[in-house]
């Protein structure tokens, strides 16, 4: 039973209350809330590119990212681009005629990555192979191992893995992927998409033997969208050096340089770098272990609420493997007949809580609550209460006591 068509509701809300006081709660899994310290840092005046402060800013971002990625000497390259741009940087540098890129099936984001790589690969004679995936589950490491074992000629140049699939809220086990590559004794590069997981879930580039790690600014890194990063080790750089693709702006070989104009292929995105520097300082001040623990605590609060909501049968966790529930975002499956887009509109326009909808094959089947980035106990409890209120307006049958259960989970976590 749906009430209040979204458009009518929106008009009514605007007519009654053109100014919305207080904080509008952003629980999309990206872009996420940008802390004031990051906003203020981005207002820093522009500098002449020879100003030593520019070099210091770049160095702070590179060093900070290396620390966050737990890599001793990966090259960190920044691009004025979003996550899709970083996918393109990977493909442009790891494509080679007659070679294959193996995309680990893991949901909507790995499908999108594979599709983009297929289009680009067609131009360079690079093929894309995908491993099978079961909906609601993390990546199947055994499927990766089998594909690598079958590839006795070592045509597979790299294995492309999404750490956290943002569409399903599922985090895969990167150590298991590393073991699969090692067990197959395959020299493929290990490439990881950290767009939704870095600074939310633990990651260690060197310890995992990851050759390329890539991501973007607007999720766990708490910056506005528009800055992408790629961290590459010596093996990845060597592959790019040996395979000169049709690339310039994305070219790692050109960018690995002490010269600023080469590093950025032109003018550095100074405002975004200043924001990133501030965000990295916030993470360092809090302590990375505490940042990870906070994300788990907030996730557990959401899962506690969801367990209660599920009692009435109309909503339930989309993730079928509870241990793989991501620290960043929780996807909530709704029964047929419930419109998650209408729920979103009511939550946003009437209760000031912005949540996300379903992507790709999950459109119309789930809504998602983001809990990554600049967030705390109060923001997550407010979001859960707003979602409960919106579900009530929409006549969705949900078990009561969700917010109380979330509060109890937070109490238990801080005892």
Positions touching ligand PLP (CB under 6 A) are 30, 82-84, 109, 162, 164, 166, 193, 195-196, 216, 225
Give whichever of 165 and 211 is closer to ligand PLP, judged by the CB atom: 165
Nearest to 99 by CA among 188, 186, 192: 188
Q: Which secondary-structure segment (H or E) carries 158?
A: strand 156-162
Complex with ligand PLP: residue 109 or 229, whichever CB lies closer:
109
Task: Tell me the C-alpha to C-alpha distance, in Å, between residue 278 and each of 61, 227, 331.
Answer: 9, 14, 30
Secondary structure of residue 190 in the 3-state scheme: strand
The residue (of 94 and 346) whose beta carbon lies closer to ligand PLP is 94
Between 46 and 363, CB nearer to ligand PLP: 363
Q: Which is nearer to ligand PLP, 89 or 393 (CB)?
A: 89
Give the residue with the Cβ less far from ligand PLP, 76 or 221.
Answer: 221
Burial zone of 169 (CB within 10 Å; 0-12 exposed, 13-18 middle, 19+ buried) = buried
Contact 270, 224 (CB under 8 A): no
Show the tokens assigned to 2.
């749906």
Q: Whose Cβ is closer to ligand PLP: residue 145's or residue 193's?
A: 193
Q: Which helix (H) or strand (E) holds 315?
A: strand 315-317
CB of 197 to ligand PLP, least distance (A): 7
Retrieve residue 29's tokens: 């899994």
- Cβ nearer to ligand PLP, comparing 166 with 300: 166
Residue 215 CB coordination number (10 Å): 28
| β 189-193/156-162 pair status | parallel
Residue 7 near residue 347 (C-beta atoms within 8 A): no
Quote the least distance from Cβ 203 to ligand PLP, whole Å: 13
Partners of 368 in beta bridges: 331, 356
User: Which sign does the torsion angle of CA 371, 376, 381, 387 carry?
Assistant: negative
Return the number of the residue (172 or 394) whose C-beta is nearest ligand PLP. 172
State the nearest-atom distance from the C-beta of 308 to ligand PLP, in Å: 28
Least distance in Å: CB of 48 to ligand PLP? 30
Minimal distance in Å, beta carbon 73 to ligand PLP? 25
DSSP 8-state symbol, 356: B
Backbone conformation region of residue 180, classed left if phi is above 0, alpha if psi is from -120 to 50, else beta: alpha
The helix or strand, by DSSP H or E, that contains position 367, with its residue range, turns out to be: strand 366-370
Q: Tokens 């800055």 — which residue? A: 227
193/388 with CB nearer ligand PLP: 193
Instruction: Write down the least CB distance from residue 196 to ligand PLP, Å.
Output: 4
* Min separation Cβ 268 and ligand PLP, Å: 19
H or E segment at 230? strand 228-232
- CB 355, CB 387: distance < 8 Å: yes
Tell the smallest beta-carbon distance from residue 82 to ligand PLP (Å): 3
Closest among 124, 114, 220 to 161, alpha carbons compared = 114
Under 8 Å between Cβ of 106 and 296 = no
Query: Minimum CB separation from ligand PLP for residue 31, in Å?
Result: 9
Distances from the Cα of 146 to the Cαs of 128, 131, 183, in angstroms?
16, 9, 10
């Amino acid at each position: 039973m749906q009430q209040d068509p979204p458009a009518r509701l929106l008009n009514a809300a605007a007519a009654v209350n053109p100014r919305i006081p207080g904080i509008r709660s952003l629980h999309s899994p990206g872009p996420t809330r940008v802390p004031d310290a990051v906003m203020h840092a981005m207002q820093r005046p522009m500098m002449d590119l020879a100003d030593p402060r520019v070099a210091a800013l770049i160095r702070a971002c590179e060093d900070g990212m290396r620390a966050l990625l737990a890599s001793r000497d990966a090259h960190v390259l920044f691009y004025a681009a979003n996550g899709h741009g970083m996918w393109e940087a990977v493909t442009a540098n790891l494509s080679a005629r007659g070679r294959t890129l193996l995309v680990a099936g893991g949901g909507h984001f790995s499908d999108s990555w594979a599709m983009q790589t297929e289009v680009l690969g067609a131009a360079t004679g690079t093929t894309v192979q995908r491993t099978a995936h079961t909906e609601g589950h993390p990546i199947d490491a055994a499927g990766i191992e089998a594909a690598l074992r079958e590839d006795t000629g070592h045509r597979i140049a790299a294995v492309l893995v999404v750490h956290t699939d943002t569409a399903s809220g599922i985090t895969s086990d990167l150590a298991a992927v590393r073991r699969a590559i090692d067990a197959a004794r395959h020299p493929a590069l290990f490439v990881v998409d950290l767009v939704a997981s870095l600074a939310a879930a633990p990651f260690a580039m060197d310890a995992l033997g990851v050759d390329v790690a890539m991501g973007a600014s607007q999720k766990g890194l708490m910056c506005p969208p528009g800055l992408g990063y790629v961290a590459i080790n010596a093996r990845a750089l060597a592959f790019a050096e040996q395979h000169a693709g049709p690339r310039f702006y994305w070219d790692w070989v050109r960018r690995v340089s002490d010269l600023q104009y080469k590093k950025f292929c032109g003018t550095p995105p100074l405002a975004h770098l200043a924001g990133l520097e501030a965000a990295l300082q916030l993470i360092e001040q809090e302590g990375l272990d505490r940042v990870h623990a906070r994300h788990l605590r907030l996730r557990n609060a959401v899962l506690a609420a969801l367990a209660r909501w599920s009692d009435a049968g109309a909503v339930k966790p989309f993730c079928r493997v509870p241990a793989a529930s991501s620290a960043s975002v929780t996807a909530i499956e709704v029964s047929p007949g419930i419109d998650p887009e209408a729920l979103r509109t009511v939550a946003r326009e009437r209760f000031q809580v912005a949540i996300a909808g379903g992507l790709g094959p999950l459109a119309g089947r789930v809504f998602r609550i983001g809990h990554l980035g600049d967030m705390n106990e109060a923001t997550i409890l407010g979001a859960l209460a707003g979602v409960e209120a919106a579900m009530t307006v929409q006549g969705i049958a949900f078990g009561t006591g969700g917010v109380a259960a979330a509060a109890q989970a937070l109490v238990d976590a801080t005892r």
